[in-house]
Amino acid sequence: MTNAHTQKREITALEQTMHRMSDVTGTIITLREEGTIPTDAGDINVIPAWKWALQSKN
């Protein structure tokens, strides 16, 4: 995530939701980046759009 302001906004929103709803998993879909962002509420997954689109939903 290249824009620091956008990154902070997205992470903060997901972290707040994850605190309120324990069964929610945080995922940020990006153009190319992949990884995990640790937060107090749990890990937020960062995944490229192409990989997210190819994941099968079982």
The backbone region for 51, taken as left when phi is positive above 0, alpha when psi lies in -120 to 50, beta otherwise, is alpha
pLDDT tens for 16-26 read 999 999 888 89
pLDDT tens for 27-39 read 999 999 999 999 9
The H-or-E segment that residue 46 falls in is strand 42-48
Q: What is 5-45 written as a DSSP string? A: HHHHHHHHHHHHHHHH-TT--EEEEESS--EEEEETTEEEE
Mean pLDDT over each residue of the chain, to the nearest integer: 90
**Cα 55 to Cα 58: distance, rounded to the nearest angstrom:** 9
Does residue 1 have a pLDDT over 90?
Answer: no
Does residue 2 have a pLDDT over 70?
Answer: no
Q: Which pTM value belongs to this model? A: 0.80
Q: Report which of 15, 11, 21 is spatially closest to residue 42, judged by C-alpha positions.
A: 15
pLDDT at 58: 59
The residue extents of the domains of the chain are 4-54
